[in-house]
Amino acid sequence: MRNSSTALLSYDEFSSLDHGQLFKLFVVQHQAFTAQHQELTAQEQELKALKTYVVGLEETIVKINGQIVILRNKLYGRSSEKSKKPECKPKTDLPKSRARGKREKSKLSEKYDLPIVEQHVELKDPPSCLCCQATMQDSGMNEEAEFLHMIPAQFMIIRQLRHKYRCGKCHGSMVTAPAPHRIIPGSSYSDEMIQDVALSKYCDLIPIERYSAIAGRSGLVDLPPNSLIGITHGLAAFVLPAYEKLKAEVSAAPVLHADETPHKMLEGDEKARWYLWGFSTPESCYFEIHDTRSGDVASDFLNGAQCGYLVSDVYSGYQKAVRESNEIRAKTNRPLIRSVYCNAHSRRKFKEAIESFPEEAEYFLERYGRIYKLEAEGKTEPETLPAKREAMIPIFAEMKTKACALLDSYSTKSALVTALNYFLNNYAELTLFLTIFALPIDNNLQERLLRNHVVGRKTWYGTHSKRGAKTAAILFSLVESCKLNKINPRHYSKRHIEALHQKKPAFTPRESVPAS
């Protein structure tokens, strides 16, 4: 018998084999078959692994391409999220003078509530009449023109002289007039300058170093920035009662908005990445700054709040906070908190997918455009809001059906599927506002309140100490609350400081609004 397991035997050779040789041949052939089968199985497994790897690479490429699109839009795209620029329609109801390009000039004194200084322009020597050459007299009439004027900031030194009184009879004692109340007693800065420095930073977003440089150009050279930072801390400590009342106002609201954004701690702590947490209502805003993004911050606030609804983005920290707060409320038979998610975030997801999936993403963006148009109309005419919200219900239902149909047709790592999953997984929370009219469509209110801090963060980089973070939280809270109530922060600050000096209770921007 031949030794090679691969050699072919003729019929005569095979017929001449005895039982033992046949068994031996079977064993050899079986071993060869088993080896070939194992090799084939290994190749199939390797091929399967390669296919899985290729699929993973393709999904990773899709995900990376989506991220590149998002980053490119953030770097070079428009800051506005509006999809299309509204068409400019010719205005046919304008006066003929304006239609020809002429503008009716309104008086500045009617537009602005500012002091008016009359400036008379007279001739030193009366002119002569052009007809008879006689000396002319003032007619009492005038040609009137108005223009804006400003007086540059003027720094001065106040020399305070507190009078001393003596007894002219017994000469036994002397009494000195008491010092007027001040935000920081004994400070080298007046109350007015302390407020100007603080509001220039936290309202106008002017860094302290730049304020010092501006003051230097006005004659106040070498004004120490560290000293100015110190007086902002003094103001924050002085108005702390109003900040605490803001927290009480926000905690008592039935609908609460929440959001957070990074805050850089330049020194003074081991952690450089802190977070500004914002909680607000349409009339009040309250900020806290912490060294963590943990949901424990939101939990602590919600545990003392009375809200029934929390409007936020789909961040797990808020989900944890709602869950923990509801566990406490359930034990005390208090109403539970319901999460309300932001449709602006959902729309933004589809906006991020439009470059890679223009047709599919445009479908959802167009319907979100219709939804937001109905919402705007309902806000303009509040009596129509229920009908407008009802008209949105079939639009959302249509979007849900379309999202379910598209979900399995694209890579799970694509920007489109990310947007679809965001919309479908949070559909109940995204549409809760449709039937509860007190709820907003999105969380843009809170996001706008964080804008100044974000812009300021880019301007002055961050805070240098934990005390600076506390000061930022206090003053940002009061400034943004003033804006919510359409109050000039400088006017509010002046009235509030005067009231505190008179030992009157602190009041928030909302409390300073006259009752209508």
* Residue 302 Rama label (left phi>0; alpha psi -120 to 50; beta): alpha
> Residues 254-288, buried b or exposed e (16+ Cβ, 10 A)?
ebbbbbbeebebeeeeeeeebbbbbbbbebbbbbb
Task: Tell me which of 25-29, 96-100, 364-368 is least confident.
Answer: 96-100
DSSP assignment, residue 183? S
Average pLDDT of the residues in 306-333: 94
pLDDT tens-digit series, residues 442-471? 988 888 888 777 776 666 677 889 999 999
Output the pLDDT for position 425: 95
CA–CA dist 314, 289 (Å, integer): 21
pLDDT tens-digit series, residues 396-430? 999 999 999 999 888 888 999 999 999 999 999 99
Q: CA 13 → CA 6, 16, 32, 58, 136, distances in Å?
A: 15, 5, 21, 57, 148
CB atoms within 10 A of CB 33: 11
**C-alpha triplet 385, 389, 392: angle, nearest 5°:** 145
Q: CA 383 → CA 393, 431, 445, 502, distances in Å?
A: 18, 20, 22, 44
The secondary element (H helix, E strand) that includes residue 366 is helix 358-380
Domain ranges of the chain: 343-442
Contact of 365 with 354, CB cutoff 8 Å: yes
pTM comes to 0.76
Residue 46 makes CB contacts below 8 A (sequence gap 6+) with none
With cut-offs at 50, 70 and 90, classify the pLDDT of residue 43.
confident
Which one is predicted more confidently, 87 or 285? 285
CA–CA dist 14, 8 (Å, integer): 9
Instruction: Give which of 62, 422, 474 is closest to 241, Cα–Cα.
Output: 474
Average pLDDT of the residues in 188-198: 95
With cut-offs at 50, 70 and 90, classify the pLDDT of residue 99.
very low
Average pLDDT of the residues in 328-339: 93
